[in-house]
Structure 1
Amino acid sequence: MSETMISEATAVRLADVSKVYGRGGAAVTALDQVSITLARGSFTAVMGPSGSGKSTFLHCAAGLDRPTSGNVWLGSTDLSSLKETALTALRRERVGFVFQAYNLLPALTVEQNITLPLRLSGRAVERDWLREVVANVGLGDRLTHLPSELSGGQQQRVAIARALVTRPDVMFADEPTGALDTRTGKQVLGLLRTVVTRFGQTVLMVTHDPVAASYADRVVFLADGRLADELYQPSPEVVAERMTRLGEW
């Protein structure tokens, strides 16, 4: 298969990616020779014990951090070839982020928060697309509200809409339900599942929750900075059982 065909079918690819913090005897290997491919239109969950390298994996895949060695591609773009200015522009224009902390600007309305990435990159707001995104996240009657006037679940919906409005190649979600109660968390997970199914969005989600992971097509397990296993469309029970055995790997 040609490189062009691979890039068309692939949203993110990591090849032999390692990340080492510190030097000498104080060096800590957070990622160790990780290679993985994420198909376009897929929903992947990343799990592992504390300190397994989950956050470092997400940061390297999203271009938030540079690996010590190895390569990361977003589509056909090799992130290691980009200078910092170009990498910043790529993150703003081709990547969407959803974090546990909603990271909304309190002085801006819901609509202003959603469209902020477009304004920062000098792009016009596509009103039809904005209406579709807002309708799908259930915020049609909240556009003029401030974040302080919304529930936690509604604020996370704003964050998801903000990540979607740029039509990103990939949406990265870091513990997106960590600050939400169980019922609201399931609503947000259902929404992430919908953006994959309905919009063909690619989602990579880091989570510690087996229930959250079960919404994904594929669950990837990290242990000691290395890929330990993967499961496809598993139940929460199967995910939880696999997590308990990671220490034996």
Structure 2
Amino acid sequence: MIETTEPVRVTGAEPAIRLSAVSKVHGSGDRAVTALDAVSIDLPRGTFTAVMGPSGSGKSTFLHCAAGLDRPTSGSVLLGGTDLAALDEKRLTEVRRERVGFVFQAYNLVPSLTVEQNIVLPLLLGAGAPDREWLGHVVRRVGLADRLHHLPSQLSGGQQQRVAIARALITRPDAVLADEPTGALDSRTGRQVLELLRDVVDSTGQTVLMVTHDPVAASYADRVVFLTDGRLAGALDRPSPEAVAERMTQLGEW
């Protein structure tokens, strides 16, 4: 069992994200609900971490706090050494746009923009110019070099998710956060997306944090962290889908 008072660490790697005693409480008084309860964890650079837990365990809140989408009730979140709690809303928005990549179950692409325009959108919103060499590298890595002038409606679901992954990578963020990225895909296409995320970590040294309910998806990660009732409830390193499913059964998910 992982103690919630000390960060979960992988030695020798500077964390891309560090949560220290992070709690998140919704509501107050008798209606207060603790979504996260004193969670401390390091997410080292260049690693792939999956987060799992029963429904209502705090997975989404964990992801939102790590990304700066939610402010913790207490505790601190460091993104590459930057204390997110110390930032005002304007600067926090800039940091999320420039230093965090997001991949969601819904691809969240702009239907009137081409593939290339969707990929570079975070840069354009930040008044930055795309690095053409990096753009070329990213689109080749995700297998979209021949689709840059297509609209999202002309792509399959898997291709649209690849656009979303490329968009998440284009700013060279501290971390890519993925929320059920294969939830809307069939098993074959989902496997291809997971292989792509695994390749992104292995080939570019990117950091990926993924929330999932799927033991097969979780098995692509270096480490699977389990949550229950807002607390850390253990971790497995490079586990098989069967080991993940067994742990989830112990947590009461199935």
TM-score (norm 2): 0.94
Query: Aligned residue for 1:65?
Result: 70
- 1: CA distance between counterparts of 2:252 and 2:114? 46
**How many pairs were matched up?**
243
Q: Which amino acid aligns with 1:94?
A: R
One of 53, 60, 65 as aligned partner of 1:55: 60
Distance in 1 of aligned mates of 2:149 and 2:167: 15
Cα deviation digits, residues 205-235 of structure 1 (max 9, x gap): 0000000000000000000000001000000
Match of 1:75 in 2: 80
Q: C-alpha separation between the residues in 2 aligned to 1:198 and 1:50?
A: 33
Please show how residues 171-210 of structure 1 align to structure 2 within 5 Å.
171-210=176-215
Cα separation, 2, equivalents of 1:27 and 1:76: 31
Pick from 152, 158, 164 the counterpart of residue 157 of structure 2. 152
**2:251 matches 1:246:** yes
Residues 1:91 and 2:96 are matched in the alignment: yes
Alignment correspondent of 1:164 = 169
Matched, 1:26 2:31: yes
How far 1:124 moved relative to its partner? 1.0
Task: Report the counterpart of residue 131 of structure 1 in structure 2.
Answer: 136
Q: Does 1:14 align with 2:2?
A: no
SS of 2:252's equivalent in the other structure is helix
Tell me the distance in 2 between the aligned counterparts of 1:98 and 1:84.
Answer: 22
Q: In 2, Cα distance between the equivalents of 1:47 and 1:230?
A: 10
Structure 2 Cα separation of the partners of residues 247 and 159 of structure 1: 33
Inter-partner Cα distance in structure 1 for 2:39 and 2:130: 38
User: Matched residues in 2 for 1:199 and 1:59: separation?
Assistant: 24
Question: Where in structure 1 are there 5+ consecutive unaligned residues?
Answer: 1-5
1:20-75 deviations in whole A, cap 9, x for unaligned?
Answer: 00011111000000000010000000000000000000000000000000000001
Alignment match of 1:35 (pick from 19, 34, 40): 40
Other structure's SS at 2:55 match = coil
Write 1 or 2 for the structure with the bigger share of helix: 1
Q: Percent of counterpart pairs with the same letter?
A: 75
Partner SS for 1:205: strand
Q: Distance in 1 between matches of 2:193 and 2:100?
A: 19
Q: What SS does the aligned partner of 2:197 have?
A: helix
Per the alignment, residue 7 of structure 2 pairs with none
Residue type matched to 1:86 in 2?
Answer: R
Distance 1:195 1:35 in 2: 26
Give the 3-state SS of the residue equivalent to 1:157 in structure 2: helix
TM-score, normalising length from structure 1?
Answer: 0.96
Alignment equivalent of 1:219, drawn from 219, 224, 227: 224
Deviations 1:162-200 (A, max 9, x none): 000110000000000000000000000000000000000
Q: Distance in 2 between matches of 1:147 and 1:111?
A: 10
Q: What is the Cα-based RMSD across aligned positions, in Å?
A: 1.3
Partner of 1:105: 110
TM-aligned CA deviation for residue 247 of structure 1: 3.1
Structure 2, unaligned stretches of length 5 or more?
Answer: 1-10
- Aligned partners of 1:50 and 1:145: how far apart in 2? 37
- Alignment partner, residue 8 of structure 2: none
